[in-house]
Chains A and B, each alone.
Chain A
């Protein structure tokens, strides 16, 4: 292939162009992937979409986590970025412990955390896939007066298998393989149990469960249900024995 003098290599330029489009879209996609996380307030321990909380560790399907870098702690007010340092080669996730110091809406590299008065100083823990972490930075979006604190560590996350009950239903935590039939939650009475994925997806506004076809649908849905409360039954891993309730604030 001949090139004209001083012209950028078209193969390189086209690939770069695609990469730039990907960069711009990455922001939108993260928002699109995150809508149902938006409803997860700081005190609820649902795991999903590659996002797991400390409370689910040890449950079927929960990954094992090995720290791969020094912990980085950042405190901020308003929008800011946290520099993580360069990613260790084998690290595939960044574990983030996020704490809102004032009420407000926060978004940490695509994961949204809504804090009400009661959630202040409660910790949200989630893992962000390291390929979502651009340029070794976590971006925290927050209102000008909203304060927060986070610690982040690169980790090596390895998957484990879900359990299977006598009815053939899978149970455990949502992980990169998808969602089990019964999803681990903590009931309002503090007991560890499971909610049905079907129920949870409906209640959380999962795009597929509600047949959303665009981010606009998801946003509209969020506005419609904002402020409503849904109560779901919590069962044991057999899928039958009811042990409590799971409440979702939307």
Chain B
């Protein structure tokens, strides 16, 4: 919390250490969302740049900006084109390590293995509202407690619970109807 306050006051070192602490998790989250290493790097960069640009409006939960970063990464991953337009020059300027192995599939696979049902969810997942998607991602993919995920998205815990309930019902229905079509 103190670190974020320092960063808000223009302490670059404090902001850098927030980056150090959360970069791995934000990156993995982006890889999972995008399934591609370079896109995920761009989304990670955009998320931290947005953290600074929108610093006055960032929600801090339990002293952490991580939930906000994850929600933002989810949204940015939905539209990588938009972040590229905003931060295109900067992203192009950032050097990439050579010989980067394309381990994307392995990354995605390892996470899918851990959360097997997600693969089934994906076709229906795209049809959810942005807020519902964010909620699901934070709870299912990122293992945040419902109350924290709810706060990160600016809703109360009971609202989040009822949304989840409705989502489950809707997803089940959509999955059933899509298998009927097939």
A positions within 8 Å CB-CB of B: 1-3, 5-13, 15-17, 19-21, 23-25, 27-28, 86, 134-136
B85 proximity list for chain A (CB < 8 A): 86
Q: Is the interface of B mostly helix, strand, loop or mixed?
A: helix
Comparing B43-51, B62-70, B71-79, the segment that makes contact with chain A is: B43-51
Chain B, Cβ-Cβ closest to A15: B94
Contacts A5-B107, A6-B31, A25-B12 known; A20 to B48 CB distance under 8 Å?
yes
A235 to B29, CA, bound (A): 65
Contacts A3-B100, A16-B94, A20-B16 known; A8 to B86 CB distance under 8 Å?
no
Within 8 A of A (CB), among B20-79: 20, 23-24, 27-28, 31, 37, 41, 44-45, 48-49, 52-53
B positions within 8 Å CB-CB of A: 7, 10-13, 15-16, 19-20, 23-24, 27-28, 31, 37, 41, 44-45, 48-49, 52-53, 85-87, 90, 94-101, 103, 106-107, 110
- Whether the Cβ atoms of B101 and A2 lie closer than 8 Å is yes
Q: Is the interface of A mostly helix, strand, loop or mixed?
A: helix
Chain A, Cβ-Cβ closest to B100: A9
B49 proximity list for chain A (CB < 8 A): 19-20, 23
* Residue contacts A-B, CB under 8 angstroms, 22 given: A3-B97, A3-B100, A5-B103, A5-B106, A5-B110, A8-B23, A8-B27, A9-B100, A11-B97, A13-B23, A15-B94, A16-B19, A19-B45, A19-B90, A19-B94, A20-B49, A20-B52, A24-B11, A24-B12, A24-B15, A25-B12, A134-B53
Contacts A1-B99, A21-B15 known; A16 to B48 CB distance under 8 Å?
yes
A5 to B108, CA, bound (A): 10
